[in-house]
Amino acid sequence: MTQTEGAAATAARASRPGAGSKGRGERPAPGPGSGRGMSRMRRNDLFWAAVFILPTLLGLGVFYLWPVVRTLLISFTETGPFGGSEWVGLDNYATLLGDARLWETLLNTVKFTVVALLGIPIALVIAALLSTEGLRGVRVYRVLYFLPVVTMPAAVGLIWRTLYNGDVGVINAMLRAAGLEGTNWLSNPATALYAIAAVGIWLGLGTQIVIFLAAIQGVPKDLYEAASLDGAGRIRQFWSITLPQISPSVFFISVLAVIGALQTFDLIFVMTGPTNPAYPATETIVAQFYQRGFVENQQGYAAAIALVILVVIVAITALQFRLQKKWVHYV
């Protein structure tokens, strides 16, 4: 072989893949932008995301999803007088549709919810007044309005039951001082439900006022200054600027208020109770669930009522989300 041919052979071997010191069984390390590096990083992120999300998912599954599934299964059974259960299929739901008392309690629940929603405009007006520039003692007012929120509903019910007392109650005493005649507010079927709903409004004002105050303070001041230059007064500014700007907060409060009102039980049970002659006019569907499940031991029927409550809440909430597209303005 000539010298020229040997040099050509050496150059050909050097140009082959894997030649040289790095080609003897070694591969170059993947760069930060290679596919293997990105997939490994992604798997690592997914692993740690699953680690942090898993406790929440377990909590949702154990304390929310499984009770719903268990309640659904129980609703197809009938509990015996000495324990045990028997599969009855849709009998509980058939009985439920023909239960006149259940529909009466559902109507009472709807009435209570409608009255409880009146607290939203009251809280909105109070929050607008407290947001007045230069007003002193706003923090004190916040604390005073928020105190009922941190008070147990049972304690609130006992206090207001004394205030509503027809003989020695403060409310009737004030009415008599004004030359008016009161009534037995909690024993009169015509007034009992609305009297309790007024207490429910009072209980929820604190949370609603705090949320509305935060929303109003987030409205840009430039909008009010421009409206003032155009000659708009405070009422006009409230309807044209404040209310549209805080409409997401109004929607949020309305959803919470409806769900809370539909689930009301303890306040009504404490203020009236089964022995009260006006209790049938104030009994809600949740109270009927308690009566059937824990007093009469009709667990299957009570489970069916619980699912009806769930369906009603989901349906009304879905309707609210549907309607909010027409009046809620997201900035």
What's the pLDDT score for residue 123? 94
What's the pLDDT score for residue 19? 46
Instruction: State the Cα–Cα distance between residues 49 and 35, nearest whole angstrom.
Output: 21
What's the pLDDT score for residue 24? 47
pLDDT in tens, 237-294: 889 999 999 999 999 999 999 999 999 998 999 999 888 999 999 999 999 999 998 8
Q: Which residue has the tokens 């309690």?
A: 105
What's the pLDDT score for residue 8? 46
Instruction: State the Cα–Cα distance between residues 198 and 164, nearest whole angstrom.
Output: 11
State yes or no: pLDDT of 122 exceeds 50.
yes
- The stretch 201-210 carries a mean pLDDT of 92
Least confident of 23-32, 37-46, 200-209, 277-286: 23-32
Extract the tokens encoding 319: 């309707």
Q: With CA atoms as reference, report the closest residue to 130 among 183, 71, 200, 209.
A: 209
pLDDT in tens, 131-165: 888 788 888 888 888 888 888 888 999 999 999 98
Quickly count: other Cβ atoms within 10 Å of residue 287's Cβ: 22
Contact yes or no for 75/90 (Cβ under 8 A): no
* pTM as predicted: 0.80
- The stretch 301-315 carries a mean pLDDT of 93
- The stretch 172-194 carries a mean pLDDT of 90
Quickly count: other Cβ atoms within 10 Å of residue 97's Cβ: 11
Instruction: State the Cα–Cα distance between residues 289 and 299, nearest whole angstrom.
Output: 9
What's the pLDDT score for residue 255? 94
Instruction: State the Cα–Cα distance between residues 151 and 153, nearest whole angstrom.
Output: 6
Task: Compute CA 249 distance to the chain's CA centroid, rounded to the nearest angstrom.
Answer: 13
Tell me the pLDDT band of 305, cut-offs 50, 70 and 90. Answer: very high
Tell me the pLDDT band of 16, cut-offs 50, 70 and 90. Answer: low
SS3 per-residue string spanning the chain: CCHHHHHHHHHHHHHCCCCCHHHCCCCCCCCCCCHHHHHHHHHHHHHHHHHHHHHHHHHHHHHHHHHHHHHHHHCCEEECECECEEECCCHHHHHHHCCHHHHHHHHHHHHHHHHHCCHHHHHHHHHHHHCCCCCCCHHHHHHHHHHHHHCCHHHHHHHHHHHCCCCCCHHHHHHHHCCCCCCCCCCCCCCHHHHHHHHHHHHHHHHHHHHHHHHHHCCCHHHHHHHHHCCCCHHHHHHHHHHHHCHHHHHHHHHHHHHHHHCCCHHHHHHCCCCCCCHHHHCCHHHHHHHHHHHCCCHHHHHHHHHHHHHHHHHHHHHHHHHHHHHCCCC
Total count of residues recorded for the chain: 331
- The stretch 78-88 carries a mean pLDDT of 77
Strand partners, 80: none
State yes or no: pLDDT of 18 exceeds 90.
no
| Type of residue found at 68 | V
Contact yes or no for 200/270 (Cβ under 8 A): no
Contact yes or no for 131/216 (Cβ under 8 A): yes
State yes or no: pLDDT of 12 exceeds 60.
no
What's the pLDDT score for residue 36? 53
What's the pLDDT score for residue 307? 93
Burial of 124 from C-beta contacts in 10 A (0-12 / 13-18 / 19+): buried
Q: Please, what is the average pLDDT of the chain?
A: 85
What's the pLDDT score for residue 47? 87
Question: Could you give phi then psi for residue 81, rounded to 5 degrees?
Answer: -65, -25
Tell me the pLDDT band of 40, cut-offs 50, 70 and 90. Answer: confident
Tell me the pLDDT band of 25, cut-offs 50, 70 and 90. Answer: very low
